[in-house]
Amino acid sequence: MASIFCCFRGCASFLDLGFATPAVPIKKQPTIALDQQQIGQEVVLVKDGSRICGTGGALGNTAIMQDKAYFEVRLQQSGIWGIGLGSEKADVNTVPMGNDTDSWVMCSDGYLRHNKEETHHITQLPQEGDTIGVSYNHIELNFYLNGQKLDCPFTNVRGQVYPAVYVDDGAVLDVVFDNFVHDPPPGFDKIMLEQSLLET
């Protein structure tokens, strides 16, 4: 009897006699990625906004609002590049970033730059295949090379900021906002959308 009913239910949905359960649309959750609206004129974003190539910079599509945020960048191809944070006013058309008051970046030459100043220099330069971690807690902006803290923080980051990256001279970067290669530092987590913050 049950098999007859199942068959009838299948026929009913095929004939659309009103017995079928309506399809429920699945709402796609917004994802964090590089923002197509906040990129340099010669920048190309691919892989759903997670890979940057070309010449210039890009900002993430959401500001860092939570207390402790972390993201990673994988160096896919060498060249000139930089990784850090920037405000909406950051100059994404000029390489390197870090030459204005609105961006704080670690650059491929090992210098940390902000407002045309070089604040630190790292000696262990990232190579192709390396992963650079970025943590920010509204007090310090720190960088990690393959999971090891570089101990060269920015302590002057101000205002509402976004993940920021730039590339030139053939560099290719993959920005990773979840499913990290290395565990975030204790207490840090992936960047959350503002609505996600309200729900937690």
Beta bridge partners of 82: 107, 166
Q: Is 170 helix (H, G, I), strand (E, B) or coil?
A: coil
Q: CA–CA separation, 184 vs 125, rounded Å?
A: 20
Give the torsion sign (CA, 183, 186, 191, 197).
Answer: positive
Residue 199 has pLDDT above 60, yes or no: no
Q: Are 58 and 43 in contact (CB under 8 A)?
A: yes
pLDDT in tens, 149-188: 999 999 999 999 999 999 999 999 999 999 999 999 999 9
pLDDT in tens, 23-51: 666 666 689 999 999 999 999 999 999 99
pTM across the whole model = 0.84
Mean pLDDT of the chain: 89
From 34, 52, 82, select the one nearest 172 (Cα to Cα). 52
CATH no. for 34-190: 2.60.120.920
The region of weakest confidence among 17-21, 53-57, 62-66 is: 17-21
Q: CA–CA separation, 44 vs 46, rounded Å?
A: 7
Beta bridge partners of 145: 132, 148
